[in-house]
Structures are given as structure tokens and as C-alpha cells.
Amino acid sequence: MKHTYPKNEKLKSRTLIDQLFSEGKSVSKYPLRLVYVEISDLEDSKIKLGVSVSKKHFKKAVDRNYYKRVLREAYRLNKSVLIDAIENKNYAFMFLYQTKDRLNYQEVTEKTIQLFEKFATAIQKDISKE
């Protein structure tokens, strides 16, 4: 599997973002949170992902941009966990960093893997309920 984050995987649609926060479910692994919703009308990619870092916690844009880059890189290297979990469905995700704590890259990567695995188990529980 290629470790890429191409343009067609980036979440940019305002309506999709609104749907994500109104109808979506979430899983958390401190300090990260993944909000997700299953969508049916994606034709170019199985996943749409947006990244967000709170302005409340990081006042300087330099700091917010650093953590957004770290989150995107952690996603890029570990997205195979997500793709294996979703099988043939399409999902939109918002990946959030929600603390003032300044974790290093290694810690963020470890938490990302744990978060994606937690998402995979949540999806399996949802499938088994149906």
C-alpha cells in the first residue's frame, strides 16, 4: 500500500463537514479524537480526512500548523489500519488534536495507531449490531 495523502482524500466540502459534526460518531484516545460518518456518494476516494487543531489551545498559527502537519503525517503512515477496517464503505473523518499538551512526533504517532485500532473495533461492533 502506498503511504500517500493525495488531494482527493482531503476533506474540503462544507456540507460534508457539517454532516460530519451533526450526524457523526467519534472515538477518542487522549489527546486525539476521530469523528467519522459513513457516506454513500464518494466516487474518487474511500476516505475523506480533515485535520484540526484548536485555536483555543494553540494561539500561534505556527504551533497549530506544526501539529496539523504531524497529524497528517501520522495518518499518512498508518492509514492502512483505517482502510482495512472500513472494507467496501466510504467514510469522512475529522482528525482533531484536543489538548494544550505538546506531545512529540513519536507520542502522536503511537496515539494515532491506538486511535485507529479503537475505530476499527468500534466499526466491527456497529457491523455486528446490524
Q: What pTM was computed for the model?
A: 0.91
Q: Set out the domains of the chain in order of their start, with CATH numbers.
A: 7-125 (3.30.230.10)
Q: Summarize pLDDT for 3-47 with one digit per residue, the tens.
A: 889 999 999 999 999 999 999 999 999 999 999 999 887 677 889
- Closest alpha carbon to 29 in 103, 128, 124, 92: 103
19, with CB counted inside 10 A (0-12, 13-18, 19+), is: middle
| Residue 2 predicted with pLDDT over 90 | no
The residue with cell 489527546 is 31
